[in-house]
Amino acid sequence: MSAVPARAGTRLAGLDGLRGLACLLVFFYHLRWHARGLDGPRLELKVGAFDVEPLLTRCDIGVGIFFILSGLLLSLPFWSALLAGAPAPKLGPYLWRRICRIVPAYYAILIVVYLLQGGTYTRNGTLDFLLHATFLHTLADFSYLGVHWVLWTIGIEFQFYLLLPLIMAAVAVLWRKGGAWLALPVLFLGTWLIDVGVSHTLRAMAPSVPDAILADKDSFVASGTVFSYLKLFAFGIAGGLVVLRWPWSPRVADALCALALVGTIALIVYGTEAGWRETSATGWPVNALILGVLAASLACSQFFARLFSARWLVATGTVSYGVYLWHELVQRAVFGGTIRNFLHGWPLFLVGGLAALAVTCLIAALSWRCLERTVLKAPYPFSP
């Protein structure tokens, strides 16, 4: 079996499975919260003397994997054009496909959330809805998490979609002047400096800005705009170049993938909750490098590409967007009743978790078949 062809426009073996794994990590991260209750006592999840619950608090690294994958996969057409000396992909079709991929399912859950949940039929609720509908909710603290926590990442993703053509245009200029030796270091350093500069500016502005917009120097907005996450996306972008320009042989890719998987497990075991967002020993840039190598090596590997191409994992990756959007609401419904009165510890976690996962996957499969896949087939309406 030969290495997977590294061409823009083809599906890279294993990456759907990696997306599925990232989705499950986020699912289990929130499952821990809802199984114990948001203000409840710790869950007793022990295997012998080993306590599993602390590991669940680090499963939010799945969001970091999503960002790395987005940077890698979405940069491929831009890298392909640059390496071939061709014009960059047209902005219109690129944005149209991004809109078709992310907007319909996002609007579906947004409407459900704002129709059914309390506190939304108010002035602030209406403003919160409008900010979410325009993907600007991560620019104000009162709407950053809003009434549905998980949607903050969708705002960050969409804003990254808008910035990517500008980032790749700058990378193209640097590439033509000095190749990868100039383009990649400037990409890494530049995105980090942007994060530092924007965060510092927002913290300095906090005392003079209304609390609803910028609560304080440690608020979500101060350290969580899209500019804070560009340094993660950057490693994914670099991974796209590796896949196209310097694809590793299957043996080398398998070895690197094994090391990256060990590194990812180490990040979960030794990291901290939300630590994947921070600059630290187990945060950026170490985690971004490990996850970037994992994604790029998996795309070129043989053994691990097969492993991550297991049907159940690919199926989870295929419907992962719907799983991500709906899982927290389903978990809230499952554990919001009386189940915690009858079950505790592992029985509560497993029974409630399996029920929530089954319902979530059913909703996600329906969303994919009836909505997402259909809209993705829509042709660009402004072609000459």
Neighbours of 91 (CB within 10 A): 10
Instruction: Tell how many helices (H) and how many strands (E) occur in the chain.
Output: 18, 2
Q: What is the pLDDT of residue 162?
A: 98
Q: How many C-alpha atoms does 114 have within 13 Å on its Cβ side?
A: 23
Q: What is the pLDDT of residue 116?
A: 81
Q: Which spans in 246-378 are helix H?
A: 250-270, 286-300, 303-307, 311-318, 320-335, 339-342, 345-367, 373-376
Q: Residue 51 has what DSSP assignment?
A: E
Nearest of 245, 259, 246, 329 to residue 291 by alpha carbon: 259
Q: Which residues contact 29 (CB under 8 A, 6 or more apart)?
A: 56, 57, 59, 60, 62
Task: Name the β-bridge partners of 47.
Answer: 50
- Walk along the chain (384 residues) and give the pLDDT tens digit of each residue: 333 344 444 568 899 999 999 999 999 999 999 998 767 777 889 888 888 999 999 999 999 999 999 999 999 999 999 999 999 999 999 999 999 999 999 999 999 998 887 767 788 888 999 999 999 999 999 999 988 999 999 999 999 999 999 999 999 999 999 999 999 999 999 999 999 999 999 999 999 999 999 999 889 999 999 999 999 999 999 999 999 999 999 999 999 999 999 999 999 999 999 999 999 999 999 999 999 999 999 999 999 999 999 999 999 999 999 999 999 999 999 998 889 889 989 999 999 999 999 999 999 999 999 999 999 999 999 876
Q: Residue 279 has what DSSP assignment?
A: B
CA–CA separation, 326 and 361 (whole Å) = 9
Q: What is the pLDDT of residue 384?
A: 65
Token pair in block for residue 170: 């700058």
**Helix H or strand E encompassing 47:** strand 46-47
Q: What is the pLDDT of residue 13?
A: 82
Give pTM, 2 decimals: 0.95
